[in-house]
Chains A and B, each alone.
Chain A
Amino acid sequence: MATTISFQDTKKKQRGPAGVNLSAGSRTRRGRKLRDNLTGYAFLIGAIFCFALFQWFPMIRGIVMSFQHTKRGVTTWVGFDNFVRIVQDPSFWTAWKNTFYFTVLALILGYAVPFVVAILLNEFRHFKGYLRILVYLPVMLPPASALFLFKYYAYDPSDAGLFNAILKFFHLPTSQWMQSPTMTMPAMVIASTWMNMGAAVLIYLAALQNIPGELYEAAELDGAGLLRRIWNVTIPQTRLILALLAMLQIVATMQVFIEPLILANGAGTQDSATSVAYLIYQHGFFQNDLNGAAALGVIMLLVLAAFSAVYVRLTTKQD
């Protein structure tokens, strides 16, 4: 009690001797504070408006929609009906199977390759700029352009196709590519990796350049060979960025959409290409089932959130 009083006393002393002035001063101070806050929000309002309208509100609305049904302008709550209907659709499980398959294949091919390429490029003292531009060039192409190139020229199932011509040149068996249910996914992953790996390579390159040279020197003095240096210096030093990009890549590849849409006309031979994102698109914009599409979106969100949580747990536990 005594301490509070003495605190108030000193505060009063600091503010000045006259009681009248004190209240007026605090009012203008409060007024200035209010004006500063208003100015701050005046600068923020445009961005807040756009975030609210196109990010925050849709996020909530998507969850709400998944429990509703709208027919001829009348919206009713239907509980889990949308989810039941979506899960009972036979293509639901096919789509998840395909999406996981795509993600795993893309991880095997698309995750290791950029890291190896970055390690290689980081050792070069010549042609560095040229090689960097090359790797990143496909990232700049509109995906639709690049995918039409793959669809019509590279994956042409006749011997006139680019890939088949190359296979034939080396006397290897040719492939039906998108017309073969087993080759559809690998073909989509090859195209996707070609289009997207440049970004990962450049990010790894930047991370590699931050590794202190002394670490390699010390490892070499200790007799560590090339592979040991990669294993014991390069990988631990870039671990964070490796973990981050793996997660970003998985979240991105789980939403694979334009590859099946263009390369496989959506579903692909014997449903070998249907992805979850494509199914959302199908339900929402072709079957006029926006509520079902929203429910599928919520399921996807839950799967990705669960995956991210487990992943973050696993990668941070090692510390």
Chain B
Amino acid sequence: MAQDSGTRTLISQAQLQRGKGKAVYWTLITLTVVIFTLVFIGPLYWMVTGALKSGQEIAQTPPTLFPKHPETQNYADAWNNLNLAKLMFNTFYYAIGAVFFQLVFDTAAAYALSKLRPIFGNVVLGLMLATLMIPAMVVIVPQYVTAIDLPIVHVSMLDSPFAIWLPLVANAFNIFLLKRFFDSIPEDLIAAAMVDGATPLRTLWSIILPMSRPILGVVSIFAVTYVWKDFLWPKLVMPSPETRTLSVGIYAFSGGTPMNVVVAASVIAAIPTVIIFLIFQRNIMSGLTAGSVKG
């Protein structure tokens, strides 16, 4: 994945090091760094500092670049009035559960499809991958109808964390990523374990999973960020104020709350994913491109 500096791209290395090319290169790169910082960090800076301003200052023209009298009142109000601690706990709880269920069920399924290969395994895989073609909005209504009245048992999943966890297991992209990774693990290793008398579960646990840490990390990070970012499904299946996620809770309060407080709450809601990104950016970026380019 990493590109060594010797690799030839659109413009040759030599051309970039010569007098005129060098000047153009450094002008362009400086411009890009400045513009990108403004475009991508600028709004975030505006968001964080804007929520530090008073109601009067935010309505002032022209707007001030730095808050004149920075006050954390909006952040405190957001934290207390919107019960952000509870919302954050809920979201975190759903995210951890989603990671757990995805890791258990999706790795087991991918292992079965890759190594155990039961009869009609390819049909099952095909049916799973076919769901990638179904646009999410198309099935949202029947999914909801199913969740509020489960077939046969007639139980409602509303306000139950399983309403978030179980649908996320049905993630064909995970199955695809994991299966492809398991496919690359040599058959000999599995055969050797079988000869030593290891059961399939033992083989999965002691041989496959330790070798698959990178891909399991990618799946986990994606599960956490997915739950943190998701909006419509949690809004539908978690209707009570006590079970809401951060995004849904902030949206629900946005109508009757001063806009500075809503933005302050949005900043707080965004902090965990930004931290996750800064820590795991390499895994996230490699996971993103792993499924698309060579697949």
A residues contacting B by CB (< 8 A) are 36-41, 43-44, 46-48, 50-51, 53-59, 61-62, 65, 119-127, 130-138, 140-146, 148-150, 152-154, 158-162, 165, 168-169, 194, 199, 202-203, 205-211, 213-214, 216-217, 220, 226, 229-230, 233-234, 241, 244, 251, 254-255, 257-258, 262, 276-277, 280-281, 284-285, 290, 293-294, 297-298, 300-301, 304, 308
Contacts and interface: CB of A to CB of B under 8 A. Distances in A.
Given A54-B167, A148-B266, 9 more contacts: A40-B112, A40-B121, A59-B134, A141-B270, A141-B273, A145-B267, A148-B263, A160-B62, A216-B10
A153 B263 contact: yes
B81 to A, nearest CB: 15
Contacts of A258: 231-232
B269 A230 contact: no
B138 A62 contact: yes
Interface string B72-96: 0000000000000000000000000
A132 B11 contact: no
B154 interface: no
B9 A44 contact: no
**Closest 9 pairs between A and B when the two form their complex, measured CB to CB:** A213-B8, A40-B118, A47-B109, A46-B105, A43-B112, A145-B266, A58-B142, A206-B289, A144-B247
A140 B273 contact: yes
Nearest to B41: A134
Contacts of B211: none
Contacts of B259: 152
13 contacts: A36-B116, A54-B170, A119-B10, A125-B13, A131-B36, A140-B277, A158-B59, A160-B62, A161-B63, A169-B62, A213-B8, A241-B293, A276-B137
A159 B61 contact: yes
B145 A290 contact: yes
Contacts of A57: 142, 146, 151
B246 to A, nearest CB: 7
Interface string B158-179: 0000000011011010010000
Contacts of B273: 140-142
Give the interface size bracket for B toward A. Answer: 35 or more
A208 B9 contact: yes
A251 B292 contact: no
Nearest to A168: B62
A159 B10 CA distance: 43
B136 A255 contact: yes
Contact of A280 (B3, B137, B284, B288): B137
Interface stretch (B42-50, B183-191, B212-220): B42-50
A217 B29 CA distance: 23
Contact of B293 (A54, A203, A285, A290): A203
Nearest to B117: A40
B3 A209 contact: yes
A127 B270 contact: no
A65 B145 contact: yes
A54 B141 contact: no
A163 to B, nearest CB: 10
Given A153-B47, A226-B11, A61 B109 contact: no
B118 A202 contact: no
A138 B47 CA distance: 13
Contact of A55 (B40, B106, B134): B134
Interface in B178-226: 200, 204, 225
Given A44-B108, A58-B143, A145-B250, A202 B200 contact: no
Contacts of A300: 135, 137-138
B50 to A, nearest CB: 5
Contacts of A131: 32-33, 36
A136 B1 contact: no
B210 to A, nearest CB: 18
A280 B139 CA distance: 10
A143 B28 CA distance: 31
B5 interface: yes
Given A135-B40, A142-B246, A51 B269 contact: no
Given A131-B33, A301-B134, A229 B109 contact: no
Contacts of A280: 137, 140-141
B266 A127 contact: no
B155 interface: no
B60 interface: yes
A217 B12 contact: yes
B231 A59 contact: no
B113 interface: yes
B263 A214 contact: no
Contacts of B175: 47
B219 to A, nearest CB: 13
A46 B100 CA distance: 13
B144 A43 contact: no
A223 B125 CA distance: 49
Contact of A226 (B10, B63, B277): B10
Given A41-B118, A43-B112, A46-B109, A51 B127 contact: yes
Contact of B138 (A140, A207, A298): A298
Nearest to A124: B29
Nearest to A297: B138
Nearest to A47: B109
A159 B292 CA distance: 43
B137 A297 contact: yes
Contacts of A50: 105, 166-167, 169-170
B240 to A, nearest CB: 16
Contacts of A293: 141
Q: Which of B47, B144, B259 has the most CB of A within 10 A?
A: B47
